[in-house]
Structures are given as C-alpha cells and as structure tokens.
Chains A and B, each alone.
Chain A
Amino acid sequence: MQQLIFFIQRYKYFLYFLLLQIIALVLIINNHSFHKSKFINSTNSITGTIYSKTNAISEYLKLKSQNEILSEENKKLKNKLAKYQLISNDSVRNIVVKDSIFNQQYEYINGKILKNEFHKSYNFLTINRGENHGVQTELAVVNSKGIIGITDDASSSYARVQSILNRNSKINARFIKNNFFGSVTWNTKDYNVVQLTDIPRQAVYKVGDTIITGGKSTIFPEGILIGTVMDIPTKASALNTINIKLFNDMSNLGYVYIIKNLDKKEIENLEKTPDE
C-alpha cells in the first residue's frame, strides 16, 4: 500500500498526463468513424453562433463571386424552364398532375456554409441549418455547380457536413454518356481533384467526359454534377482509378442546398427485407 501511494505520489504528473492523453485519443478515434463523431464538433450552439457571427462579416467579401454563381444558376434554370415549356406546348396530350406533392421525391432546403475546410485529410463543413429546419444526418449537400458532401451530424440549428474531400467519403458516380459506374473518393493530394475508382475495365471514356452522381444510393439524386475526367491512366490496374477535376472550387463555397430524399425510408425498408 505504501509502495502504491509512493508510486502515485512520484508519478502523479505522468499519470495525469496519461489520463488526459487517453481521453484525447478516444476522441480522435471516435472522430474518425462516421456515426460516432457526436461530441467534439462545430455543430454545438456556442461554436455555431460564433461562426455565424464571423461569417456575417466575411460574407461581404465574397458577394461578387456569389452573385455570379447565382446568376449562372438562374440562367441554367431559366433555360430548363424554357425547354420544358416548349415540350408542353408541343405535346398533344396534356399531363394533369392533381397533387404535385404526391410525386415529389426530393425536398430542397437552402443553407449557407459557415465554415469551410479543404486542407486536411478529413474535412468537414458547418452549415447554418439543423434539425429545426428539417436537416438530419445522411442528407446530400450540393450547390449549383455540383456536389459538396453529406451531412453527418445535426444539432438544433447547425449541421456538420462530411465534405467529399474526406478520406471516409465514398459516393456512387457514373459517366454522363453511359452507365458505367464507380465510386468517388479522395486521395488527399489536391482539393480540386477527386478520384473515381472501381470502374469496370470495359468502360470507355476520354479526357473531358463529365461525371455525375449515379443515383444508386438513397442519399444523392441521380445526375448531380461532379466533375470532368482529367487524365487516363497509362496502364490498367486492378483498382482502375482516374482523376476527376471538380466543377466546384472547394475553397470558395457559399450557399448550398440540402437535398432530402422523401422516399428514403421506403427504399431502405424494402432493402432490409431478408432474402429468403
């Protein structure tokens, strides 16, 4: 007993150090798994409020580029609308939708990025929408130029987004011109370049081909822009990885849309059915 007390007396600083270090280590390891990272992150109300206050100041500096992005998006939407009107004018049969909500599969929630990261291996963003606005975990986050990430934690009025620039991120994607699909990952080297892996050998593609989301998950709707093929690997490897240049400049993000799949539960229930 005496020995033990003496031991503790002698190494008290080291033991205290060890204790705190273990706490830190547990937090680090928890932060690396997608579903456990609940405690240390920027969605809590204190950090969220501070970030939204500072963001209110800094957003003036970005107004010009954000305006350009918005007008670009408006142009795109107007073009789509014009095309649609042309079709509906031309078609003989009029389609009557009695209840538009009934067929609606995706709901869009707008939001703003309060904090952006792109220089680490595991990047997260903080947005100013939370459970009060209908944001939950595992919703798609996009902007007009393309995908940004997936929400991974939500507090009452803020949410944390796992960026596509995160080593844990894996998103189903395909070529726009054919149906060969793979998954988008990131090798942490360049924040404007992601990798498309696991594409079939027989897939045909060339530099400049557009990559879009594949719609094979319940998170992302099909056809959200990702990027273009940057180079073709010289020799075929088992992994078959190609570099994709993102449409988004991940270092300059402002307003985003959070996409909620209203049929998600239904699809997941269906997939849960045991195969006899």
Chain B
Amino acid sequence: MNKTLYLTFLFFFLLFLQVLILNNILLFGYVNPYLYIVFVFLFPFKKKRFSLLTLSFLLGLFVDFFSNSGGIHAFATLFIAFIRIYIFRMVFQKTDTDFDFFTLEQEPFGKIFNFTVILTVVHHFILFSLTNFSFHNFSNVITNTLLSSIFTLVLYFLGSFIFSRKQ
C-alpha cells in the first residue's frame, strides 16, 4: 500500500515537474531535460511487467497531452520501459530471482551510471527522431540527444544525491 502511494505520488510529481517547469527551461533555445523518465529507473523491479509498461505508457501520454506532440513521449518511454529488463541483466549481471532484494541505491555508482545513461540516451534519441519526423536535419537530432541527455542525467544524479536515504 505504501509502495502504491509512493508510486502514485512519483508519477504525478514527475509529470507536473516535467510539463510545468522543465518544459520551459530551453537552455540555448533547445536543450531541455526530460526528467520524467526517472520513473522508469525507479519503478520497482518485478517479475510481472504489465504495470510498468502500462504506467510508463500513460506517463508518456500525459506528457504528450501537455506538449501537443501526439504520442512521441508515450512511444519513447514505453520503449525504454520494455528494454529496461534487458539492460538490467546486461549491466548488473543479475537474474530474475534477485529482484526481491534488489535496490538501485545499493549498487556501485559505475553500474547505475551505465544503466541510466543507456536508457536515457535511447529514450532521447527516439524522442528527438520522432520530433523531427524526417531525415532532414539529422545532425540536429544527434546534438539535441547528446546535450539533452547530459542535462537530464546531471539533474537526475543531483536529485538522487539530494534525496538519497543514506545520509
């Protein structure tokens, strides 16, 4: 129950943080952090993945509602939610049986870094390719992906440093 409440709060917190504040940052005119994907990183690792897929899709869709972008965010977020398990196995070298005892915070920083960087870059790349919706200006897509990924990751690591429960 507590966990459900936490996830609901996280869902809406990230949604409103994204659409009301972060969508207006536009550093140098186009670099924008997309911090809401943190939801996919933080969602508890479980064997059943339907809830993760559904919620990431909905989160993406709600962001789309606010930013007039069709289903771009839903598409990209759902994609990283789907590949999360494979990246997880690749980076952390763990199997499905470890899920119950796994928390992201207890892992070494290097592995967390790899995990988040891969998911973020994949998400941003899909996002900007679909935003552009043509092969015209493709170099723009690459620079946007890189700069925005860096921005998102910096915000994520700062946030996780501030809100970490270790203290």
Contacts and interface: CB of A to CB of B under 8 A. Distances in A.
Nearest to A188: B137
A51 B131 CA distance: 22
B68 A41 contact: yes
Interface of B is mostly: helix
Interface string B55-70: 0010011001111111
Contacts of B94: none
B78 interface: yes
Most chain A beta carbons < 10 A, residue from B50, B64, B70:
B70
Nearest to A27: B71
B29 A24 contact: no
Contact of A121 (B50, B70, B132): B132
A41 B71 CA distance: 10
Given A20-B57, A119-B32, A121-B132, A40 B65 contact: yes
A40 B70 contact: yes
Contacts of A29: 70
Contacts of B74: 20, 23-24, 27
B5 interface: no
Interface residues of A, number: 40
A28 B70 contact: yes
A32 B133 contact: yes
B147 interface: no
B67 A117 contact: yes
B69 A120 contact: yes
A6 interface: no
Interface residues of B, number: 34
B72 A28 contact: yes
Most chain A beta carbons < 10 A, residue from B20, B66, B68, B78:
B68
B158 interface: no
B67 A17 contact: no
B75 A21 contact: yes
A13 B131 contact: no
B22 interface: no
A124 B23 CA distance: 14
Contact of B79 (A14, A21, A117, A191): A21
Interface string B20-31: 100000100110
Interface in B33-84: 49-50, 53-54, 57, 60-61, 64-72, 74-75, 78-79, 82
Contacts of B32: 119
The 3 closest A-B CB pairs, nearest first, are A31-B70, A27-B71, A24-B71
Interface of B: 20, 26, 29-30, 32, 49-50, 53-54, 57, 60-61, 64-72, 74-75, 78-79, 82, 130-134, 136-137, 140
Given A31-B69, A119-B29, A188-B136, 9 more contacts: A13-B50, A21-B79, A24-B72, A24-B75, A24-B78, A27-B71, A46-B65, A122-B131, A188-B137
17 contacts: A14-B82, A16-B50, A21-B75, A21-B79, A24-B57, A24-B61, A25-B71, A25-B75, A27-B64, A28-B72, A31-B68, A42-B67, A50-B66, A117-B67, A119-B26, A121-B133, A160-B68
